[in-house]
Structure 1
Amino acid sequence: MIGPDFPFPYDDFRGHPAGLGSIPNAARGTPIAVIGAGLSGTVVAYELARMGLRPVVYEAEEIGGRMRSSSFDGHPGTVAEMGAMRFPSSSTTLFGYLDEMGLRTVPFPNPLAAATPDTVIDLKGITVHGRTLDDLPEVFARVARAWDATLEDGADITALRTALRARDTGAVAALWHRLVQRYDDTSFYRFLADSPHLRSFADRELFGQVGFGTGGWDTDFSNSILEVLRVVATAADEDHRGIVGGCRRLPRALWSHPLRSAVGRPAGASVAGLHDGGVPRPAVTDIARSPSGSITITDATGETAEYPAVVNTAPVWLLLSTIRCDESLFDALHWSAIERTHYMGSSKVFVLVDRPFWRDREPRTGRYPMSMTLTDRMPRGVYLMDGALSGTDSEDGGDDGPAVICLSYTWTDDSLKLLPLDATERMELMLTSLSRIYPDLDLRSRIIAPPLTVSWETERNFMGAFRANLPGHYRYQERLFTHFMQDDFEAPHRGIFLAGDDISWTAGWAEGAVQTALNAVWGVMHHLGGACWPDNPGPGDRFAELRPLRLPD
């Protein structure tokens, strides 16, 4: 996922044996505030600590953020991935941290993926099965070909993918900047409707319901087509893997793992060890500029501390709502970008069942009793997870213990429909819908724990699942992503840095959270007078060469 907007090799930068850079000796031990202990915040804290700084992490809830893995009541160790759950293998920087932390991944059972024994597609009351696309009725292959042709004609996608994989930054810029100029004001749906290959409404409707790779795409139809082109160009919709034991293990590992090659730290030192009791400070309530020029943080206990630099990895909308932020810390253009950030709502419903019964073929039909399901009914997406993905087995399978079903995965309007319902009501709604698809399956009798659910748009400290730009929002995203470059800022706007997946170009993917974390680390290092190693230039060092296109007003 070396993105087309800023094709910097974050994986190589992260993996350099000497680290990301150094700070002056006088700056060692300097406390730096990090707001949020999700993936981005824990990466920032880990790398700042390695550099010899002292990150002070503030967290309103628990370590992990949207990397949230929950267990079912009475079944410790089971895993329901309430937020992030699948990670494309093209996320090479992310996988570098997974490897460093000693965490294992396994294939994720997406529709028609190699790890998925069978996929059921249920649309307009008609149900079809398929192991691969070739097993489905011809209309699906025809729409898939139409989508591929639309990408080729409208975005020269093969050339763009080739340039990205070759890391040919000149070719990437030539291809991508032209697309930004052409499509900034274009929605995903307009891109499809303008294609000669998808003139049929029925074809566009089928594509929206089923899509390819991760499933249906219609919930993205109102978003900018540039958002979708980034996903496709970087292979973010292909070859997904899940983290064994739950995705929250990565931010928790970054919190507690011994720091690799840390400057001025004893062996075994960790980010957790830099905090009293090994836990983060509580939620931030106020951010202000002090008379001395430093930045003052006040937390939920009323305790106040001053810092020469602050990294905010929490969703930027919190700076407008739950955190009182001094207006002088950002200029008017950046405040506009923060205010216009658009988040996608999303809901999930999980149940724990007695065993992965879906692996048992029915003798009469030879089919599985239940499959990964895409449907236009209320569940929309149903995922079957056992073994390593459900936390019930250490290996890649297992058919004796409990297993997890993501009974429903919905977005935007479909998610809003569920808001008035509690977990049990949501479960019952999904079970009723699925009984129409699987009339011979008594799924209810197999459930062995109370259901788990989440609606991210109602989560006080998130307010949505992830950022998704609308048409015309490129300029706002460019301001947020490039905010770590502060040499040209007026003094009141320097020293506070933004990171997280809503700052990245590939929101909703953990790789974006990691990449913007590394941008912020570079920004803090540079702010304190530090520098990268000559043979490992950082994102700020190569910014003039690789910078995103800036559209005129």
Structure 2
Amino acid sequence: MSRLTAFGPDFPFDHTAWVTHPAGTGTIPRDMLGTEVAVIGAGAAGIIAGIELMRLGLRPVIHESAEFGGRLRSRVFEGTDGIVAELGGMRFPVSSSGFYHYLDLAGCRTRPFPNPLSAAAGSTVIDLEGETHFARSLADLPPLYAEIARAYDAALAGQAHFPELQAAIRARDRARIKDLWDPLVSAWDERTFYDFVAHSEAFQRLGFRHREVFGQVGFGTGGWDSDFPNSMLEILRVNLLGLDDDQRFVEGGVQQMLRRLWQAPIPSAHWPEGTSLASLNGGATRSRVTRLARAGEAIRLTDQWGNETDYAAVLATCQTHLLTTAIEVEEALFGQKLWMALDRTRYMQAAKTFVLVDRPFWKDIDPATGRPVMSMTLTDRLTRGTYFFDNGPGRPAVICLSYSWMTDALKVLPLSDERRVELALQALSKIYPGVDIASHIRGRPVCVSWEADENFLGAFKGALPGHYRYNHRIYGHFMQAGLPAAERGLFLAGDGVSWTPAWVEGAVQTALNAVWGIMTHLGGAAPAANPGPGDLYPEWGPLRLPD
């Protein structure tokens, strides 16, 4: 059976095959070699797009408003030799083939992520309504949990042709994917995740308690009740593409991938051997962008210090709503339909609380039970999800005391880091009354609330029912040949532009779409032997629903 990758389903194009093809991704006219192209954002989309634009012979000029890495942010604990808290992306499914291509290019290593009930976690504790269960596998939990797992599998198979659709994705069978997926888009655009669960025949035979536990504990990585209001199409993509399965953790922190790519020598059609993104940018990113406006055929970019530069093209990889708030964008650069889509894009909240501890003490065996004193923990308490990271013998360890979304994340939004830790310890003391976690904590905690960061104002997009048309407009904006001249030259990328928000593979794929768009905007083209995403988009692009 072929390996499952994030191939479609809306646009079944193999982005990884495109960038690794021996014929290359394309060429630009000789007189365009060395042309400056602005890239807003030094996150995954910005750095990966920069690398591929550089290969073409263009000069990507990277602008970053605050911290290099975007939401691939690894914060090093003070005084350690590179022990990190992963504030943004921390678990990466192996189906993300594009991401892993660049991870391998950067020479990073990974290990299995300690998700609930996984071998990497070792053991899991589920604590709901004051009742606690210890498990090493699903079979160790009460029958209710297996009933929920079977019900969700049955719901997917019965309503979404799940086995057939996933088999078509594995086989890269574009026609079959579209035959199965496009009718679901038409029928389910206005359907919530909760509606799918509650009205499935399998769950209707069970009852509210099963739906409640499913929301609290979920499947794969944990509870899904924060996603209950979201579009079911968005959740179904996660399931189909294996994004919630077989996930890995980047040793030393994922942010190092982007730093290594920034410094790496990249073979290019124009630049001398040994040239890197860093060297093309003088060793540092440019400053925050405050304004974008039309300047003849160019886009004029103004930074926070008032410096103005005209670029042949600009790629914005920031969260889309920053184009309506933090950056003054001349209205004529986008059509009104696209402005509506940008304004309506909805971002979810997320908060994490990390502490450094002296050692992986949670592996100590309780003589009374014969079990580890603590385990990966899912609960309805304030912490929601608690994860443990062993960094090896003789090194401090890390605990993510709490990872929460939406309402649970907002509960701690105004609180100090220390208070967040106190509340998390209080919650965990109810589950592990005999364990003194505080005695093992070292240094200062590391916390994040993405909605409080002015450069993000939210963690990741969470499409609501009825948002498919908005996503379609934003995702397909790289196809600019049919746009009025006044709306060409400003491109969009990032996981929030993709069909799979919150997953870095979406950032990779939309970055590569934008590279094709910029290449063709400047008069270039992909080789006949290796057509790019825009070459196949007219035939295989996402279904367009009528307005």
Is TM more than 0.5 here? yes
Task: For 1:63 and 1:76, locate their aligned partners in 2 and report how far apart those are by CA, in whole Å.
Answer: 20
Alignment of 1:278-357 (within 5 A): 278-290=283-295, 292-357=296-361
- 1:130 match: 135
Task: For 1:536 and 1:243, locate their aligned partners in 2 and report how far apart those are by CA, in whole Å.
Answer: 31
Task: For 1:526 and 1:26, locate their aligned partners in 2 and report how far apart those are by CA, in whole Å.
Answer: 14
Letter paired with 1:22: T
Task: For 2:499 and 2:320, locate their aligned partners in 1 and report how far apart those are by CA, in whole Å.
Answer: 15
Alignment of 1:120-519 (within 5 A): 120-199=125-204, 200-259=207-266, 261-276=267-282, 278-290=283-295, 292-387=296-391, 398-519=392-513
Superposed CA deviations along residues 345-378 of structure 1, whole A, max 9, x for unmatched, are: 0000000000011222223321001110000000
SS at match of 2:82: strand
Letter paired with 2:269: V
Runs of at least 5 residues in structure 2 that lack an aligned partner in the other structure: 1-5
Q: Is 2:23–2:529's contact at 8 Å kept on the other side of the alignment?
A: no
Q: Is 1:356–1:399's contact at 8 Å kept on the other side of the alignment?
A: no
Q: Is 2:290–2:326's contact at 8 Å kept on the other side of the alignment?
A: yes
Runs of at least 5 residues in structure 1 that lack an aligned partner in the other structure: 388-397
Letter paired with 1:167: R
Task: For 2:413 and 2:120, locate their aligned partners in 1 and report how far apart those are by CA, in whole Å.
Answer: 32
> Which of 533, 537, 543 lines up with 1:539 in the alignment?
533
Superposed CA deviations along residues 431-455 of structure 1, whole A, max 9, x for unmatched, are: 0000000011000100011111110
Superposition TM-score, scaled by structure 2 size: 0.98
- 2:77 match: 72
Letter paired with 1:39: A
Count of aligned residue pairs for this structure pair: 540
Q: Is 1:337–1:479's contact at 8 Å kept on the other side of the alignment?
A: yes
Letter paired with 2:102: Y
Task: For 1:403 and 1:215, locate their aligned partners in 2 and report how far apart those are by CA, in whole Å.
Answer: 22
Superposition TM-score, scaled by structure 1 size: 0.97
* Cα deviation, residue 198, structure 1: 1.3
* Cα deviation, residue 21, structure 1: 1.0
> Which of 94, 99, 102 lines up with 1:94 in the alignment?
99
Letter paired with 2:224: W
Superposed CA deviations along residues 62-112 of structure 1, whole A, max 9, x for unmatched, are: 210000000122324111000000000000111011111111111100001
Q: Is 1:354–1:447's contact at 8 Å kept on the other side of the alignment?
A: yes
Letter paired with 1:179: L
Superposed CA deviations along residues 454-490 of structure 1, whole A, max 9, x for unmatched, are: 1001110011110110000000000000000011100
% identical equivalent positions: 53
Task: For 1:483 and 1:236, locate their aligned partners in 2 and report how far apart those are by CA, in whole Å.
Answer: 25
Q: Is 2:15–2:98's contact at 8 Å kept on the other side of the alignment?
A: yes
Q: Is 1:357–1:399's contact at 8 Å kept on the other side of the alignment?
A: no
Q: Is 1:39–1:250's contact at 8 Å kept on the other side of the alignment?
A: no
- 1:16 match: 21
* Cα deviation, residue 161, structure 1: 0.5
Please, what is the CA RMSD of the aligned residues? Answer: 0.9
Task: For 1:239 and 1:133, locate their aligned partners in 2 and report how far apart those are by CA, in whole Å.
Answer: 16
Task: For 1:78 and 1:546, locate their aligned partners in 2 and report how far apart those are by CA, in whole Å.
Answer: 44
Letter paired with 2:34: G
Letter paired with 1:207: F
Task: For 1:206 and 1:362, locate their aligned partners in 2 and report how far apart those are by CA, in whole Å.
Answer: 28
Letter paired with 1:234: L
* Cα deviation, residue 400, structure 1: 2.5
Runs of 4+, deviation exceeding 6 Å:
none
Task: For 1:438 and 1:535, locate their aligned partners in 2 and report how far apart those are by CA, in whole Å.
Answer: 60
Q: Is 2:384–2:404's contact at 8 Å kept on the other side of the alignment?
A: yes
Letter paired with 1:354: D
Task: For 2:273 and 2:35, locate their aligned partners in 1 and report how far apart those are by CA, in whole Å.
Answer: 20
Q: Choose 490-499 or 263-272, whichever is displaced more.
A: 263-272
Superposed CA deviations along residues 19-77 of structure 1, whole A, max 9, x for unmatched, are: 31111111000000000110000011111111100001100012100000001223241
